[in-house]
Amino acid sequence: MIEAERESARLKPLLRVLGVAASSWYHRPAAEPKRPGPARKPLDEALKATVVDFATKNPWWGYKRLAIVLRRAGHLVSKKFVHAVFKAEGLMQKRRATKAELYQSAKLFELLPTRPNALWQADVTYIHIPGYGWWYAVTVIDYFSRYLLACHLTASYSAPEVSAAIELAIKEAERLHGPLERTPFLVTDNGSCFLARRFQSAIKDKFRHVRTRYRTPQQLGLLERFHQTLKREEVYWQLYDNPQDSREKLDAFRQRYNDVRPHWALEPADGGDALTPTDVYVKQASIKLPKWQGWAKGAKKKLDEAMQQDAELRRAA
């Protein structure tokens, strides 16, 4: 053992001088391939037909979920068996969009903003200040540019306080763009402050208010994701002395977020590094559509092609 290590120690410097990699020198030819094992047992044809029937009637489910459904229906099948059937029958193919999905995506694209001040989102998040309890940050963001229009810290999220945050957002937008030429959409959830009559009255002539479905925070996903950034890059780094200290630091964060921090969703149309919200909202820089929005844009063309193919098949029949 020791002699072998000494031999190796003397050999490596020599290989280095010769320019030969030690890994190549010590490489050994691969062992002989293993003998093939026993042939796989053929799949039970009756059970296989049952799996195919269920898969045909439920094309939106993968083999794992379908295995559970089959067992709940009284068929003794394993996940491995269903996977084997899927593989044998070519059911593992990539999912194709249905015409209904293409239609919904095409309609969705019509609602997506293509310029600043077309669609805003507003929401409330919690911030704890030591010695003062829970306070609330009412945030308003421009969907297209991701520009943070307002981050209003308040002791309550009543309708007047939320309305005050909206007014701050309007002032910021008008400071940079002048009076709003078109009435923006304002998307909120169904919080009591957004349902209150005082809030509805305050925004009546200024916005087209759209509320998300109940218990679906993902429909307000842009702001939900922004709140995660707010917490990770500001709130979780600070122990605020008092509400005024919190306001000052949140205002510094808003400036940093808008002016300095590159946003991955803001990819310049001509390529290059990611832009900041200020580049897009204030300087009107052109950006590429996010991939999922590009899918929605192309859905209209795909839908037209699918409908045309159906029409040709009907004429041929």
pLDDT at 69 over 60: yes
Per-residue b or e along 67-79, where b marks 16 or more CB atoms closer than 10 Å to that residue's CB: beebeeeebebee
pLDDT surpassing 50 at residue 115: yes
State residue 16's pLDDT score.
Answer: 78
* Options 3.30.200.20, 3.40.50.10140, 3.30.420.10, 3.40.50.300; CATH of 117-283: 3.30.420.10
Contacts (Cβ under 8 Å, ≥6 apart) of 14: none
How high is the pLDDT of residue 43?
86
Q: Residue 34: is its pLDDT beyond 70?
A: no
Average pLDDT over residues 178-207: 92
Is pLDDT at 107 greater than 70 in this prediction?
no
Q: Is the pLDDT of residue 214 over 60?
A: yes
**Domains of the chain, residue spans:** 45-88, 117-283
Would you say residue 70 has pLDDT above 90?
yes
pLDDT higher than threshold 90 for residue 117: yes
pLDDT above 70 as % of the chain: 83
Q: Does residue 81 have a pLDDT over 90? A: yes
Which range is least confidently modeled, 57-61, 225-229, 291-295?
291-295
- Please tell me which residue, 231 or 213, carries the higher pLDDT value: 231
Does position 2 have pLDDT exceeding 50, yes or no? no
Which H or E run contains 138?
A: strand 133-142
Burial class of 290 by CB neighbour count within 10 A (0 to 12, 13 to 18, 19+) = middle
- pLDDT tens by residue, 142-161: 999 999 999 999 999 899 99
pLDDT score, position 292 = 57
Q: Would the pLDDT of 185 be above 70?
A: yes
Q: How far apart are CA 216 and CA 189, in angstroms?
A: 9
**pLDDT value of residue 84:** 92
Q: What average pLDDT score do residues 55-72 get?
A: 88
Q: Which amino acid is at 157?
A: Y
Q: Is the pLDDT of residue 60 over 90?
A: no
- Range of lowest pLDDT (79-88, 214-223, 235-244): 214-223
Higher pLDDT, 100 or 120: 120
Q: Per-residue pLDDT tens for 220-230?
A: 788 889 999 99
pLDDT reported for residue 3: 47
* 1 pLDDT more than 60: no
Is residue 291's pLDDT more than 80? no
**Range of 27-31, 51-55, 170-174, 210-214 with top mean pLDDT:** 170-174
Average pLDDT score, the chain: 85
**Residues belonging to the chain:** 317
204 Cβ neighbours under 8 A, 6+ residues apart? none
Average pLDDT on 97-120 reads 74
| 157 in Cβ contact with 136 (< 8 Å) | yes
